[in-house]
Each structure stands twice: as C-alpha cells, then as structure tokens.
Structure 1
C-alpha cells in the first residue's frame, strides 16, 4: 500500500531545473482567455450590432475592415490567441488522457504543427487580403468598384 505524504511535508524529490512550462501554460490560458473575451465580443459587436447588422456582412464589408491596420491587427491577435489557447487546451487533454509516452509526444507535436500552420495561413490572409485581385471594372458594381477604382 502506498502512503500519501502529508501536505506540508518537505519534498523528497528534487525539482527539475529550467522554466516551469506547465505554470506558464496555466497563466497563458487565464490571460489569453480574458483577452479573447474582449476581442471576440468587440468583433461580434462591430460585425453584428453596428451598421446594418448581419445583413451588412458581405465581401465589401470584409474588404473595408481589412483595409484598416487596426482591424487587421485586431483579427490577427484574436486568431493567434485563439489558436494557441485551443492548442494548449488540447495539449492538456492529451497529457491527461493519453498514457503511452510515444503516442502523447506525437499527438502534442501534431497539435502544435497544426496550430502553427493555421496561424501562418490565417496571418497571410489577414495581412495580404486584396479585394481588387482579379477586379474587372466592366463587370463589378457597388462598394468594391469604389474601393478598387480609388486604388488605380
């Protein structure tokens, strides 16, 4: 029978040297969670409550938002925090429930690779979005025509 040490008993095992990654992961989850609440509700408020609401969301609306560096950085920060937050949560679940060390290592690596890939792709979309790519003034109409005609 294994006895459990008393809570205030001195440690018998030495602490591993280096940064405590689990502690920093725990802190990250709390901080990113609070920031994500602000970012997501700000995003939803601007997209759904201001202007025409959900009926005003179309390609031109997105083009107008992504024309502003403020909204580019807002959406990029929301993307980065959400993907890292989600990957870290999945890492915690994998660490809790996958018992085989090799399988756990493969799954955690796959999680971080998938998150990194999505962060790179999402960031490219946010910062390189060009609504005028393939723009033909002969067939276009509406707000996109105004935006692309103003660019030259």
Structure 2
C-alpha cells in the first residue's frame, strides 16, 4: 500500500451542491432582514401604544377600534404578524433540522411548523382586516364609536 491509495485521515469531504435555489441561504437572509424589520415594527408599535396618549391606561376596545379603522395600522400590524410568525417558524425549523436525526420525524415536524404558522397567519390576517368595532358595542362606548360605525 502506498500513500496514494489510502485517503488522508482528515481529508475534506466534497460538498454536494444541488441544482436549484439555495433555500438554506434564503432562510438565513430572511432571518437577518426580517429581524431588522421586526425591531422597527415592534418598537413603533410599543411607542404608539405605550408612550402616545394615556399610555397603558388608554388601551381599551375603543383604542384598538380606532387603530384598526386606519389602513396604515392594519397593514403595520399584519406586516408585523406575518414577519414574526414566519421568522419564528423558520427559527424552529432550524432547531428541528439541527436536533432531530430521524428524517421522517423531522419532515413531519417541519410540516407541522409551517402548517401551524400558515393557519395563524391566515387567522390573524382575517381578524385584522375583518375587525368590526360595531360588533363589540357597549353602552359606555356607543357615543365614541358612533362616528366609526356610521
């Protein structure tokens, strides 16, 4: 036997590159970009809800109804919802890929993650865009909300 016929003990393994999009790279980039966007969206959300007006004491049904009457705040909250759920599901997918060794179990868990994130995205989006402040009227809020419901 010669040194040419025996592989070196620490020879690098050749990386196999599949054709098509690099989904791991896309997921990695998404985590960084969505994380930055979420910082802006979340701190904007917290600033408006906690610092403007009466702060935490001013948050009630009428406050939420007033915010959701504006398309700007509807889209702000939906964007925050979508980015946060996809960001979280992608992070969980990474953890599942790192720690679950059985391929079928890993596939089932990743599918369950994406299905649950998709369900919550659809449900949350429906709540934001179909929110009707007139359905939750009480005697105390009728006067304030009459303008919104008219």
TM-score between the two structures when normalised by the length of structure 1:
0.87
1:147 Cα shift?
Answer: 2.0
Q: Contact 2:100/2:106 (CA < 8 Å) preserved in 1?
A: yes
Aligned-partner Cα distance in 1 for 2:26–2:148: 48
* Aligned residue in 2 for 1:38: 40
* Aligned residue in 2 for 1:89: 91
Aligned-partner Cα distance in 2 for 1:62–1:101: 45
* Aligned residue in 1 for 2:56: 54
Aligned-partner Cα distance in 2 for 1:106–1:118: 18
The 10-residue stretch of structure 1 (125-134 or 61-70) with the greater mean CA deviation from structure 2: 125-134
SS of 1:132's partner is helix
Q: Contact 2:69/2:148 (CA < 8 Å) preserved in 1?
A: no
Larger radius of gyration: 2
How many aligned positions are there? Answer: 143
TM-score between the two structures when normalised by the length of structure 2:
0.89
Aligned-partner Cα distance in 1 for 2:140–2:30: 46
- CA shift digits 1:46-96 (9 cap, x unpaired): 000010000000000000000000000000000000000000000000000
SS of 2:135's partner is coil
**Closer, same or farther: CA 105–2 of 1 in aligned 2, 3 Å:** farther
Aligned-partner Cα distance in 2 for 1:71–1:55: 20
